[in-house]
Structure 1
Amino acid sequence: MSRTAVHDISRPLLWRAVLLWIVVWAVCGLAAPIVQDATGLSTDVLALVMLAPALASAVVWLAVRRDLPAPWPPVATRAIVWPTVLALVWIAVFTAGLVAAGFSFGSGIGVAGVPLAVVLVAQAVGALGEEIGWRGTLQHLAESRMSRWVAALLLGAVFGATHVGYWSEGPLFVAGFSLSTALMGLAMVLIARGSFAQRMIPATLIHLGLNLVTADAGGFDDPWLLIAPAAAATAVVLIATRMTNYDPARIPRPASVPTE
């Protein structure tokens, strides 16, 4: 299947979908703290605002699905193994980089009175919710007008900047965090293959891994210290994809999906 056939969408239709996503995402994001307080759910278990990108994506799909680019074609199930491995490699290298930068671990990621397994599942759901919106819907739309590399870096940076809780720390803090999330987003797109759902597996693993590792390290006071570990992890993933000829055209697809 050609790239044009998969990603073709006119500029007006693209902006209509993007603007609808932004509006719904913003409304859900503003409503999330109210629902959080009403339910009494701890943000350490699951910050409901993390589900806003997925809800926005659902509305976009229901409202303008006929105008969206054709879906990413799926690949054979066995072809998802390598992206999953690379996601775990990214987490391992990122963690090693944090250790080299002087981070210490052992703060814990549990919440008093809540089983660790519940926290992990909730955090995975939250990470998936954000990835559905950012590396799923928005990445898919952006790739219709620009290269996937540029789209990944741009959306990764914007994703970091939308963490409004960090703005009280100043613009330099946000800039450092946004640069690290841009590198994270690039790694996700570098290894992403297959359908929407298949791409969510490695993306969610990387996102969840970063969240858990930084939480266990007790958070971070200087986001610029995250940049070198994120850059090293992304570089390792890039080298691995190049050394193994990680070419989408060579990845086996299900027999029902035509290829060119």
Structure 2
Amino acid sequence: MTTVFFLVATVAAGLLGAAQPGTGIPSEVIQLTQFGPSLAVAVLALFWPARTWALLRGAVRGSGGGLVPGGALAVTALLIIATAVGAHLLATGDVHFTAPGALGHPFPLIVVAQLIGACGEEIGWRCVLQPLLGARFGVVAGSALVGMLWGVWHVPVLAHGPLYAGAFLTATVSMSVVLGLGLQRVTSHRLLLAGSFHTLINLGMLVFMNEESGAVLPMALFGASSLVAALVWMSLGRAGRPVTVDHP
């Protein structure tokens, strides 16, 4: 299932990305590539319906509170961005800030579209692949593997060179570990919680960082701040109850 998911998600993202210019949908608002994982989930549901629906249990509805984990994840996302921006300010004396009003489209529209796009990704990465690999390898190792696949899936990012790609993969693996630990006992609205975390990260990078220019420093600082967050979550996980994952 993992191989099929990743191949379909990658091919679908490439096709959607190639089709986007013809749709007239601005990439600043939403990137159609984000729905590649959604299409991969649909393919899994065709070939492994029972297994896929079991993995999706709790993605939207279910029992069990997600308010506290959701709040912790949201705070973590904000701290990741704030730490990276603060470190960039200390290192260079400057912050790359784009006022929301200076963006090419209304900021509320961008926020809603970013949440939709993030959920388009996270229904695959965190709602299907994470429980699948977490049940096999454990929460931390499974999350790290999901994060690596998630990072490699962003093929164009890897073209910016080894240092940039390494920092980006550090960020995706670290954020995936944070999400895996944060969602491990949440049995309802997992998609919204993961999508909200993802959206906050994307909006923070859009407004405060210039990593899309290919500059290594902001991406390195983003990767480092994400790694610190993951280490804190792992430390808290060891200090609390044993980290486990339910087999779907």
Matches within 5 A, 1:78-89: 79-89=65-75
Is the Cα contact below 8 Å between 1:86 and 1:237 reproduced in 2?
no
Matches within 5 A, 1:1-260: 17-68=1-52, 70-71=54-55, 74=58, 76-77=63-64, 79-103=65-89, 104-109=95-100, 114-192=105-183, 193-195=185-187, 198-220=189-211, 221-222=215-216, 223-239=219-235
Q: Distance in 1 between matches of 2:51 and 2:27?
A: 36
Identity among equivalent positions (%) equals 26
Structure 1 stretch displaced more, 26-35 or 80-89: 26-35
> CA 1:19–1:158 in structure 2 vs 1: closer, same or farther (change >3 Å)?
closer
Deviations 1:146-170 (A, max 9, x none): 1121010111122112211122211
Deviations 1:35-78 (A, max 9, x none): 2112111111111001110111122113211344844765645x
TM normalised by structure 1 equals 0.78
Q: CA deviation at 1:225?
A: 1.5
Residue identity opposite 1:216 in structure 2: V
How many residue pairs get matched? 231
Higher helix share goes to which structure?
2
Is the Cα contact below 8 Å between 1:93 and 1:232 reproduced in 2?
no
RMSD: 2.6
Q: Which runs of 5+ in 1 are unaligned?
A: 1-16, 250-260
> CA 1:92–1:239 in structure 2 vs 1: closer, same or farther (change >3 Å)?
farther
TM normalised by structure 2 equals 0.81
Query: Which residue of structure 2 aligns with residue 10 of structure 1?
Result: none
**Is the partner of 2:159 in helix, strand or coil?**
helix
Q: Distance in 2 between matches of 1:73 and 1:247?
A: 19
Q: Which runs of 5+ in 2 are unaligned?
A: 90-94
Q: Distance in 1 between matches of 2:232 and 2:81?
A: 13
